[in-house]
Amino acid sequence: MPARLVALPLAATLLLTGCAGRGSAEDDAVGDTATTFLAAAASAPQSGCDLLAPATLDQLRSDDEDCGDAVSAAAPKGDIASTPPTIQVYGRDAMVRWADQTLFLARFDDGWRVTAAGCKPRGEDLPYDCTIEGR
Amino acid sequence: MRRLRDHGLALVFGGLLLMALVGQALWGLAGVNGDARDKGLQTIGLGEYLTSSSFAVDIAENWQSEYLQFLLFILLTVWFVQKGSPESKPLDKTGRESDEDQKVGRWAQPDSPRWAVVDGWRRSVYSHSLGLTMLVIFVGSWSAQFIAGHASHNSELIRDLKAPEGWGQYALDPDFWSRTLQNWQSEFLAVATMVVFSIYLRERGSPESKPVGEPHGSTGVEG
């Protein structure tokens, strides 16, 4: 049947693409990077710089900001360990939300990197306001 | 060689489809990698692009509109006619027509499809198999557009430091409806112009045209 011939590849496409980048393994990797970054921001900010995306580091440099100071400023105010974050992953892009802290991440060949941190919502349909962000 | 000739139309269009898909894949990959470089993000390879929501939504949005076009054309030409158009059936033949006209049941020919001969659900299903198949593919590809479009749009939102949308929000999002309607309008335009242009214009030898000397007023006559 022609319908079956087309429907099967369509279903496979849906599984491959609609759900691409989703799932617990990817969520865990994103969550680990985000948690490690915020832990570094609170205790060893300079090491948090290693988890920033290249364009985000470039932006800090071009703004003459010290990376360690910027990462330290993005440290969470409360205890993030006790509340699991909301993790949303779509392809190579991800957002991780705690009650008072949101991070944006992107996947590179060597793992997930933080593209923006210290983000707070500004209103519906508006970009988040972040203390650290790339271009 | 004769087999090739007998199936030339399907083979040529199948070949054109493959070439267009290859072109779309390569240019689409160049596009997404250009965007990634602009934002300082990782570029991707062809394999990852072919399984990405970005590629899938671009494919599916065009597929769904093509199958909707054919579904509507197949169904609406049962009841609607167009005087002078070879795309229309004769003006006095509107509707589902008689069993005799449709060569089913006792009016079937010796070489008619078996399901056209037998009574019951098989003949009912076979009598609508073309429309049903187009409907299934249309619904499947529109659903694929929705699902892949949701993932692709949310990826772009995150890159713009915006919160991703849920399914309900995306069902009302301009991205979903502009992708859908920009394709629908072009398909409806193409069908309408084909129906009307073929009243007055000819392509010698094409079954989609009336014979060159056929009067403009002749309806349902193909070359």
Of A36-40, A80-84, B87-91, B96-100, minimum mean pLDDT range = A80-84
Query: How high is the pLDDT of residue A78?
Result: 79
- Map out the domains of chain A as residue ranges: 21-133
Q: Does B158 touch chain A (CB under 8 A)?
A: yes
Query: How high is the pLDDT of residue B176?
Result: 98
B95 touches B79 (CB < 8 A): yes
Decide if pLDDT at A57 tops 70. Answer: yes
CATH of domain A21-133: 3.10.450
A53 touches A134 (CB < 8 A): yes
CA distance A103 to A133: 10
CA distance B44 to B39: 14
B162 and A21 within 8 Å at the Cβ level: the answer is: no
Which residue of A56, A90, A119 is in closest CB contact with B151?
A90
Higher pLDDT, B191 or A6: B191
Q: What is the largest CA-CA distance in chain A?
A: 64
> What is the DSSP secondary-structure string of A53-103?
-HHHHHHHHHTT--HHHHHHHT--SS-STTSPPEEEEETTEEEEE-SS-EE
DSSP letter assigned to residue A107: E
B158 and A90 within 8 Å at the Cβ level: the answer is: yes
What's the complex ipTM? 0.86
Interface residue of A6, A13, A62 to substitute, partner B, most B CBs within 10 Å: A13
Query: Reduced to 3 states, what is the DSSP secondary structure of residue A129?
Result: strand
- Whole-model pTM: value is 0.91
User: Which stretches in chain B have pLDDT values below 70?
Assistant: none
Query: How high is the pLDDT of residue A16?
Result: 54
